[in-house]
Structure formats: structure tokens, C-alpha cells
Structure 1
Amino acid sequence: MAEQGVPRQTKASRQRKIVDHLGSVAAATAAELAVLTEVSPMTVHRDIDDLARRGILRKFHGGVSVLPTTVFESSSEFRMQTRSSAKNALAHEALSMVEPGMSIMLDDSTTVLALARLFGDVGPLTVITNYRQAIEELRENDDIRLIVTGGQYSRTHDSYIGIPDHTSVESYAVDIVFQSTSTMGTEMTYHQEQDIVLMKRAMLRSGARRVLMMDGSKVGRTSLHRYVPVSEFTDVILTDDVDPAIVAQIGAQTTVHLAPMRH
């Protein structure tokens, strides 16, 4: 029910305003969000509870946040709205590695999702993924043989994650695995969540060619869990805004491809 004296606005538009605001600040209080959305504290608390239940934001003592930390990853829904130009640049560079008839495995990163959206121009392909968004993107493409793998559904990641031994991931041998992860240094890659690390490792072992796609905002940082050394990837695609000295250090361990950002 609309509040007295406040023009009726949809719940979705109000929550979008909250998420957009949190994307530009480290954190905010419920009182600040109530002022921002021009609704009562009770209404904004309901919005916060709903967004937290869906895994879009995190509540902590004194406030809420959507930004990733060294311990928690942002939700899939939030990540899909960030760094889109960088993801598109990485996707177009990665597409040059894909040929008709290949078998390809995709992880649950929104960076790799940008690549999946380009597969309509390539086919036929066999694509294996645990990411619901990629499944939705590819399921009606007659040139794609789509195989879904994983386990329990994660609302935060919008994907199916299970103990590798209990999934079918390690039974596949594919031409290319495409992945992204939370952060990387010059020698090691990282992710905030251990169950995601285990799933990504299992997927990585399935690929003859193993490609990591990383935009500049993820480079030179760490997260809670070590994933795999950079040298485990046959190829690393970086956006061209990464420091050349860091590119050179990564290039000493694997083949580096630079994706030009479209300004």
C-alpha cells in the first residue's frame, strides 16, 4: 500500500535505486536508504530484507552493502550490471578462440556470460555449464547442444554448485574451459568462497585449453581463498587497462591476450 503523500512507485524501481546507490558507496544505513527512496524506515527495512533474502545485498551490524569484499562475493544479479564494457571486450577476444564443432565449458561468472551471449554467431557447439543465466541464454539455440551440470542451487551465484565428486563435471573432457574469478595477482588467482573454488577447480581440470578472463579491476588484488596458480591456465585474457608491468609478469607464466576496451 502506498504511503501517505508519496507518489506511488513500484517495489522494483525502489529496490533498483537502493542497489544502484550501494554500488557506488561502501555501505549505507537503513535511515540513509529511507531518505534516498523517500519511504518510511519500515518500508525500507522490508526492501532490505527482501534483497538480502535474494542474495543481492548483505546486512551487517549498522548497515548494508552489495560490494564484494575479501570474504564475500557480490550477487550474480549485481555483478551482471557492473563493468559491462570490460566484459564485452573480454568476450569478443575470447570468441576468437571458439570454432564450430567445439565442446566448451562455462563457469558461473558474469564475465563468461558475456561470451555465451555471442555463441549465436558460431554454432554448432556443445556447451556445458552450471550457470542458470547461461542456460537461459542458450537453451533455445538449435545450434547449441546444452548440457547442465552442478548440484544445489545457489541464489547468490544463480548457479548449481555441488561437491565435485557428486557432480558430473569431472567426467567431461572439453576443448576449452572459460572462467573468471574474483581476483588475481601475478602468480595466484583467488575467490572468496571455498565451495565455488572447489567447483571451479573441477571444471578447470576438464579442459584441454583453459582460459581465464579478467578485467583490470580484478587484477592485483586478493580474496580469502587461493584458487589455482596463474600457470594452470593456458591463456589469460586481460583488458588493456592493466599495468604493462603486471601484464609482463603474468605473461612469463602463460599466454596473455589483451582485450581492447571500447571507449
Structure 2
Amino acid sequence: MDRPLSRQSRQQARQRAITEAVMAEGAIRIEQLADRFGISVMTVHRDLDELEGRGLLRKDRGVATAMSTALVESSDVYRSSRQLAEKEALARAALELIEPGQAIILDDSTTTLHLVPLLHTKTPLTVITNTLPIMEQLKGTRGITLLSVGGQFYNWCSAFMGRMAVEAFASLRADVLVMSTSAITDDIAFHQTLETVDVKRAMFESASTRILLADHTKFDKRALHAMLPLSEFDAVVVDADTDRAHVDRLRKRGVKVLVARKAPREARS
């Protein structure tokens, strides 16, 4: 039986829907959003204030306007609603590469976030992250030692980044890094923002084993900043819908590619 959604979950789902609606149309009047989603104008104002604070939308004179597509697509509000089944399959495959007693680094990707609820099966673990939603989910979890990395907080991705975060990761040595990427071009992982690239590279250098999770859509996307060649990862985990040509090409280049099985239906309910 499905559990009822919490107030926070309903709010997040509504804000994702509002963001996507405004992105699709460019601009929508606040009264129209209230009618479309069956909520009060006051609730729309509160949602838009939060989304504007995260740099995703602009609210002006009763109209909500879309911001930069690249920034919106980088945001956790947008990313968390995409490729859910694929992300779950990738997370379950990554779980098999983690052993009890290890120290693991988790990045700010929504793909990695799907791994978090599964980690209790691998305790004891030390989890190191710069990502607020992961901290909130894992705090107080029995068998998990949680190390948070600070720095400048970025609303659009709910993560701490900047020089402080980079230096903090540089001072650590972990067993495993699990991370994702925004896009893959010429078999190189890319991201839209340089701040994210800097932190993820620092994470990469701090871990003995590096695992990249990438659903099939990453091969069709583009981003501005090169992060790391896929050949430098110890394992690249892709979902079952990834074009076989990508898998074969990467394997010929010596990349260890693991194809995640689709999660059983009961696991997704």
C-alpha cells in the first residue's frame, strides 16, 4: 500500500510542477497558476518566493517568468522528477559496490540521493557529503557516521560548495565515491556550473574507488564545463535503456561499464 505523501513531499512535487509549467510557457500569471493547481494565490506566492530565492523563476507584477534553462536543469527541484525508475536501478547497482565498514562520499546528484534510503543494509558506514537533503535523511540513522562538508550554500542544488568545500574534501581520504553528472560528451563527464566541477573533482581525488552513475539521457545532453573522462572512473553504471553503441564503445576503450537491471515492480511501489 502506498504511503500518503507528507506535506513537504506535496510541496516539493507542486513546486516541481510549477517550475516545469513556467518553463514550458515562459511566463504565467499567478492567478492562472492558482487555478491550474487548485491552490490559493497566497500559496502560489509562497512557492514562487522560494523558487525565486533558488534562482529558478522570477516573480514580478503578478507574473512568474522562467529563468535560465541551464540553471533550472541543474537544480535539484527539476532533476529530482526525472528518470525516477532509471535512477532507482542505478542506485541499487551502486549499492552492490559498497561494503560495510567503508567511508563513502556522496555528491549532490539526485541519482545518488536514491542510494541514501538503501544504505542501512550496508552498515556500519561513514558517509561524507556536502548535500543538505542527504544530511537530513541520514541524521540519526543507526550504524551510519555522518560527516558534513560545509562552504557556501547554493540554494539551486541544496549543497555546500566553494573553496571551503574543496579544501575540506582535499583533507579527507575515503574508500568510495558515488557521483553522477549532467552530461556526457565525447566520453567525458560535463556539468553546467564550474563550482560543481571544482567540488566533484575534489571528491574524486579524495576517494580510492570512483563510481559514476549515468542514466541513458546523459549521453544526449550537453553542458559547458568538462569534469572528468569516463576512463578515469573505476566503474561507470548505466541503465538498461542506454544505447548499446555507447556501452560497446566505452568497453573497447577499457572502461568498466555495468548495466543496471531494472528495479522489480514491488521495489518501486
TM category, shorter:
0.7 to 0.9
Name the CA distance, whole Å, in 1 between partners of 2:227 and 2:149.
Answer: 20
Partner of 1:102: 102
Partner of 2:167: 167
Amino acid at match of 2:181: T
Please point out which of 32, 36, 41 is paired with 1:35. 32
One-letter amino acid of the counterpart of residue 58, structure 1: L
Q: Structure 1 residues 72, 253: closer, same or farther in 2, change over 3 A?
A: farther
Mapped contact 1:103–1:174 kept (Cα < 8 A):
yes
Cα displacement (A) at 1:227: 1.0
Cα 1:84–1:13 change in 2 (3 A) is closer
**Number of the residue aligned with 1:6:** none
Number of equivalenced pairs: 252
Cα drift, residue 246 of structure 1: 1.0
Once the two structures are TM-superposed, the CA of residue 221 in structure 1 deviates from its matched residue by 2.3
Partner amino acid for 2:130?
N
Runs of 4+ that moved beyond 6 A: 12-15, 42-45, 60-63
Report the AA paired with residue 256 of structure 1: V
| C-alpha distance 60-181 of structure 1, shift in aligned 2 (>3 A) | farther
Cα distance, 1:181 vs. partner? Answer: 1.2
Given that 1:190 and 1:225 are in contact with CA atoms closer than 8 Å, whether structure 2 keeps it comes out as yes
Cα shift at 1:100: 0.7
Q: Which moved more, 1:238-247 or 1:77-86?
A: 77-86
TM-score by length of 1: 0.82
Are the counterparts in 1 of residues 22 and 64 from structure 2 also a CA contact under 8 Å?
no
Task: Output the CA distance in 2 between the equivalents of 1:171 and 1:37.
Answer: 49
How far is the alpha carbon of 1:44 from its aligned partner? 8.9
Q: Output the TM-score relative to the length of structure 2.
A: 0.81
Q: Deviations over 1:66-106 (max 9, x none)?
A: 8953x654322332233221111001000001111111111
- What is the aligned partner in structure 1 of residue 260 from structure 2? 259
Q: Which has the higher helix share?
A: 2
In 2, Cα distance between the equivalents of 1:213 and 1:46?
36
| Counterparts in 2 of 1:164 and 1:245: CA distance versus 1, 3 Å | farther
How large is the Cα RMSD of the aligned pairs?
3.2
- Maintained 8 Å contact 1:128/1:147: yes
SS at match of 2:227: strand
Report the identity percentage: 30
**Residue in 2 that maps onto 1:7:** none
Stretches of structure 2 that go unaligned for 5 or more consecutive residues are: 1-6
